[in-house]
Amino acid sequence: MLFKYIRQKAYEKKLRALDVPDVFRSCFEQVKNLETRKHIRDIGFIVFDTETTGLRPARGDVLLSIGALGFTGGRVDLSKSFYELIRPEREIPRDSVLVHTLTPGKMKDLSPVSDVLVRFLEFCQGAVLVGHHTAFDVEFINAALKKYFGLPLANRVLDTAKIARGIQKTQEPGKVAIEGARNFSLDYLAKSFNIKAPDRHDAYADALVTALIFQRQIALLQKEGMSRLKDFLRIGEVR
């Protein structure tokens, strides 16, 4: 709790010192006032995914797309959707194109990453974010946010891969579909929960698959008496 307080105060100090879009302030205020003792079904989430030119922003790799959708009342909310391609800040490597099929021809006349990220924050507001192996996506988003605005994401972030590991520890052997997994890849979890994932490596499609996995995870953890946001943050938060 002390570390969280210190981190929030440091963020707030930076926020006052910087000239940033108002959405940064509204997001921070909502996150600061987030009630973690609420039932998970009373929390609004945004499930998201990204596609990138590679694996390491520190070596020049950048965001190419962001896909996201709402998740409320324990269910996917397709009426709340976000998907944008981003003008590449570097050449897209051929190996990367083979993964996500975002060719240079598709990436012309697009908005710069700074504009897309502001719209993404406006879409998310102070919601808890959910993704799969989210540290990867957050690293790329934060690299761009810090570059253009001097601040990282304020939002709390959950990782369905971390939650899967938590489920494995809380369940008795053989009682849960993901028992015995080592990797917890998105494909593995989708298969375990009998979720079809036809358009892998599309940011919006992957966000949808992640949301469906999260929905199943909520049901499993509620059977274990874990029904409040703080329970999910304890086993699945990306810090």
The edge-to-edge listing of strands for the beta sheet with 75-85 is 75-85, 63-72, 45-52, 128-131, 157-159
Would you say the pTM of this structure is higher than 0.85? yes
CA 66 to CA 44: how far, in whole Å?
A: 19
Computed on alpha carbons and rounded to an integer, the radius of gyration of the chain in Å comes to 18
The predicted pLDDT at position 173 comes to: 46
What's the mean pLDDT in 163-191? Answer: 71
- Is pLDDT above 70 for 27? yes
Closest residue by Cα to residue 54 from 1, 26, 95: 95
Name the pLDDT band for 176 (thresholds 50, 70, 90).
very low
List beta partners, residue 159. Answer: 131
The number of distinct structural domains making up the chain is 1
User: Strands 45-52 and 63-72, how do they pair?
Assistant: antiparallel
What's the mean pLDDT in 89-117? Answer: 88
- The secondary structure of residue 163, as a DSSP letter, is H
CA 63 to CA 136: how far, in whole Å?
A: 11
Q: Residues of the chain with pLDDT > 90: what percent?
A: 74
- Is pLDDT above 80 for 137? yes
Where in the sequence is the domain holding 30, given as residue range(s)?
A: 2-236
Task: Please report, for the domain that includes residue 184, its CATH number.
Answer: 3.30.420.10
Closest residue by Cα to residue 140 from 23, 28, 59: 59
- The secondary structure of residue 150, as a DSSP letter, is S
- Is pLDDT above 80 for 166? yes
- Is pLDDT above 90 for 111? yes
The predicted pLDDT at position 233 comes to: 97
Name the pLDDT band for 145 (thresholds 50, 70, 90).
very high
Alpha helices in 66-185 (DSSP H): 94-100, 113-124, 134-149, 160-170
Q: Could you count the other beta carbons within 10 Å of the beta carbon of residue 60?
A: 11
What's the mean pLDDT in 99-121? Answer: 92
- Is pLDDT above 80 for 139? yes
